[in-house]
Amino acid sequence: MVSTLDTIRLNAMAKINLGLDVIGKRPDGYHDVRMIMQSIRLYDRIDIESTPQPGISLRTNLPFLPTDERNIAYKAARRMLEDFHIDGGVKISIEKHIPVAAGMAGGSTDCAAVLYGMDQLFSLGLGQEKLMKIGLSLGADVPYCLLRQAALAEGIGEVLTPLPPIAPCHILIAKPPVSVSTGQVYQSLILDRDTPHPDIDGMARAMKTGSLPGVVSRLGNVLESVTISMHPVIADIKKNIMSAGALGALMSGSGPTVFGIFDDEGKARAAYDIIRDSGLVQQVFLTSPVDFEKQAE
């Protein structure tokens, strides 16, 4: 975070789902989930500037993204201005690097950054718990993005139990040239007694003991079968990542992004080249998990 009296710059971190289980559908239409999420070193750059003029000015480096209230970051700014009767307005600049509509919480993390940034910029003193409550009203992943560490997420994603980060590793991110609607994926999900459910509790124990093999052996995402049926290229990418030496590979969130976990940097770099040149992907990144406790030391 970089801050002056009237501007603030933040890194809005992406996440991956190491495990994603869906328990059932709720009467309100949402689904109860149990997920383990991990922040990674891939982020959007958010700049927020206070202005004496009322209103919100939002711009991004991607011309196809909306810059009005269709953008969740814009909604966050409007909510903060209205709820806390802030005089003046804000200019927001979002430099996008996280793939869009990709299962990596790109929109939610931008929203979280705006909430946190405006709390700091205007000295509101709201704190994490209050910001999470506001964030939940904007999106189910926003509270996690405000937490900014590995966590078990339950309920619709808002009941968070912090976890130690995954053991040090190298993470390959690969997004095919397709976008996915989270709502459509959940609407198409059919849960029955044959649905394979990942071992979320076992993965949480492995996170706590720092066992990378224990985490990788339990990678699982209930939504994979739905999204892969829509976009078979996801299965092809997973196969190629595993063939390139990954310990494990999985679709993140509702997709279509696939990540691979490597314990060897050389193998990870070689896999990056293979996947980049495969013709299957639109974006590819090589990154690592974030350990915010170490960053704070």
- 29 token code pair: 């239409």
Annotated active-site residue 141? The verdict is yes
- Provide the percentage of residues in the chain whose pLDDT is more than 70: 96
Cα distance between residue 137 and residue 8, in whole Å: 24
Residue in 229, 284, 286, 287 with CA at minimum distance from that of residue 99: 284
The residues facing 43 across adjacent strands are: 13
Q: What is the largest CA-CA distance in the chain?
A: 59
Annotated active-site residue 87? The verdict is no
pTM, full prediction: 0.93
Classify the phi-psi angles of 164: left when phi > 0, otherwise alpha if psi is within -120 to 50, otherwise beta: beta
Q: Residues 139-181: pLDDT tens digits?
A: 999 999 999 899 999 999 999 999 999 999 999 999 999 989 9
Q: Residues 215-257: pLDDT tens digits?
A: 999 999 999 999 999 999 999 999 999 999 999 999 999 999 9
- Residue 53 vs residues 4, 50, 87, 94, 218: alpha-carbon distances, Å: 19, 9, 8, 20, 52
Catalytic hit among 15, 75, 175, 238: 15
Q: Residues 113-143: pLDDT tens digits?
A: 999 999 999 999 999 999 999 999 999 999 9
Catalytic hit among 110, 119, 141, 291: 141
